[in-house]
Amino acid sequence: MTTNDGLTALHAHAQRLQGTGIPSLLAAEPDRVKTLALKVGPLYVNFARQTYDRAALDALLELAAVCDVAGGFARLFGGERINITEDRAVLHSALRGDASPKAAAEHAEAVAVQRRMGELVKALEASSVTDIVSVGIGGSDLGPRLVADALRPASGARLRVHFVSNVDGAAMQRTLATLDPATTAGILISKTFGTQETLLNGAILRDWLGGSERLYAVSANPERAARAFDIDAARVLPMWDWVGGRYSLWSAVGFPIALAIGFERFGQLLAGAAEMDAHAASAPLERNLPVLHALTDIWNRNALGCATHAVMTYDQRLALLPAYLQQLVMESLGKRVKLDGSPVDADTVPVWWGGAGTDVQHSFFQALHQGTSIVPADFIGCVHNDDPYTVNHQALLANLLAQTEALANGQDSDDPHRQYPGGRPSTLILLDALTPHALGALIAMYEHAVYVQSLVWGINAFDQFGVELGKQLANQLLPALQGQGVEIADPMTREVLGRLRG
Ligand code: F6P
């Protein structure tokens, strides 16, 4: 069987199941709510409200076997250079555990840098610094921003961490307006140290601080970082080309996380991810959480043709998760050619989006319930809360359950305006509680699910050439906006430049 045969088989199953409601699937397979549920460490995930039945799921698992998902994991964890377009290994797992003896050297390097990072955290905690401004963008921002926001204490944090990413000067202006340069330190994070946004914002921050004395850097190009901003080598932490930007929060890119939540809890985050690594590497396909999550996404995208996928976080502290996942998933899987350069055989990544419940129920949920597009969704909640408002937490969970039930089951009515069609699939993800360990496991689950999808589609999940052209053009147009005589070929750009220059 080929991958194409496997994808064709999915279409046949989708056709067979057309018109079968989710309640009928649950009625036909009474143990479905248990057999399609997995508990891996702190995560409970239930796929029972997806629209595949046992036979269709078997076809998905066969597709995973044909695409050698198990071999793919062995290559990933074994440090093979699977990012073939950039000739790099992909070893974010070595940052959080020593699962593979083949990646022992990388793991040892990672541990040594973590130790240095821990010392810097300790020194900053003992200093007069109260605030940290972290400057970076994309993978050098979204992960640390998400985790720091999710896990920071509600009050009484020793250090407040602020994030600036956008090149829009208003972002930096607003952040600095609330701070005192005498009690602020800065971290510049950039894998390449060639990113326009970070270089410009870094320069503003250094000047505002009055020099680089309280400036730190994280980069895979530490010499360039130290040189460009005159930062003492003791305050520059390395990362490596075997860590992709959007997979890097586990490295020294997580320095702001360790400052926001404490070094020990940063270690617990890594341990949670390591637990998911061990599970992904060893669990059989049919009980492998990232594999089942990925196959569910493949079903919704390729068999049902859904163009978008939503993530609803029923925990306000995870409000930044959809933005983080947009980069992780769409930068990884937004590809149209296979590893060998030939066109892909099926649609690849849908648009990922989402928001925090219950707010989103009062904004776009109308479209989810009664619109013409089916939007498969992950609903994420926590069994236990950490705030003192128990009734609110119960109401939050009641809403989570209500929405997933209403989306799946719908409700009939004689009045078409008041009819809910149902048949809208969702996956339920429950964390025992929002601990560093659970969040680490959750993020690692998504990372591995991304990789599995890339194996099915035959694409490289670890490059991102699609973002380069726009960057190059922006670098060429900046001098034109500054009034330098640059030749502009595109007539529309030329016209608008004239207006922008006044
Ligand atoms: O814009 C895409 C990208 O290359 C991301 O992949 C990366 O995370 C981000 O830019 C930032 O890059 P750097 O860490 O090199 O500044």
Question: Quick one: pLDDT band at residue 483, thresholds 50, 70, 90?
Answer: confident
**How far, in Å, is the centroid of ligand 1 from the Cα of 443?**
19
Q: Is residue 98 predicted with pLDDT exceeding 90?
A: no
Looking at ligand 1, which atom is closest to the CA of residue 139? Answer: 8
Q: What is the pLDDT of residue 113?
A: 98
* Residue 144 near ligand 1, beta carbon < 6 Å: no
Catalytic residue among 119, 384, 471, 495: 471
**Cα distance between residue 93 and residue 270, in whole Å:** 9
Options 3.40.50.10490, 1.20.120.430, 3.90.1150.10, 3.40.50.1000; CATH of 3-66+283-463: 3.40.50.10490
DSSP reduced 3-state for 290:
helix
Ligand 1 pocket check for 464: Cβ under 6 Å: yes
18-55 residue pLDDT tens: 999 999 999 999 999 999 999 999 999 999 999 999 99
> Of the given ranges (95-99, 422-426, 448-452), which has the lowest mean pLDDT?
95-99
Mean pLDDT of the chain: 97
Instruction: Kindly give the distance from the C-alpha atom of residue 136 to the centroid of ligand 1, in angstroms, as a whole number.
Output: 8
- Taking the complete model, does pTM exceed 0.80, yes or no? yes
CB 467 near ligand 1, within 6 Å:
yes
Statement: residue 329 has pLDDT above 80? yes
Q: What's the rounded Cα separation, in Å, for the pair 146 and 257?
A: 9
Q: Does residue 362 carry a catalytic annotation?
A: yes
Is the Cα dihedral 169, 174, 177, 181 positive or negative?
Answer: negative
**Does ligand 1 lie within 6 Å of residue 244's CB atom?**
no
Ranges assigned E (strand) in 190-242: 215-219, 236-238
Looking at the chain, the whole-number percentage of residues with pLDDT higher than 90 is 96
Q: Could you tell me the distance, in angstroms and rounded to a whole number, from the CA of residue 302 to the centre of ligand 1?
A: 29
Give the start-end residues of each E strand in 269-407.
308-314, 351-356, 377-384
195 lines ligand 1 (CB under 6 A): yes
Per-residue pLDDT tens digits for 194-208: 999 999 999 999 999
34 flagged as catalytic: no
Task: Flag whether pLDDT at 457 surpasses 80.
Answer: yes
Calculate helix-pair angle for 104-126, 263-282, nearest 10 degrees: 160
Q: Please pick, among 106, 197, 275, 331, the residue that the annotation labels catalytic.
A: 331
Site to substitute for ligand 1 among 135, 195, 198, most atoms within 8 A of C-beta: 195
In short, whether 198's Cβ falls inside 6 Å of ligand 1 is: yes
Q: Answer yes or no: 338 catalytic.
A: no
At residue 502 the predicted structure's pLDDT band, cuts being 50, 70 and 90, is: confident
Q: Is the CB of 192 under 6 A from ligand 1?
A: yes
Measure 140 CA to ligand 1 centroid, in angstroms. Answer: 7
Predicted confidence at residue 458, as pLDDT, reads 98
CB 190 less than 6 A from any atom of ligand 1: yes
Could you tell me the residue ranges of all domains in the chain? 3-66+283-463, 95-268, 466-500
Same fold, 3-66+283-463 and 95-268: yes
**Fold of the CATH domain 95-268:** Rossmann fold (3.40.50)
Residue 501: the pLDDT is: 85
Phi (first) and psi of residue 123, to 5 degrees:
-65, -40
Is the pLDDT score of 367 beyond 90? yes
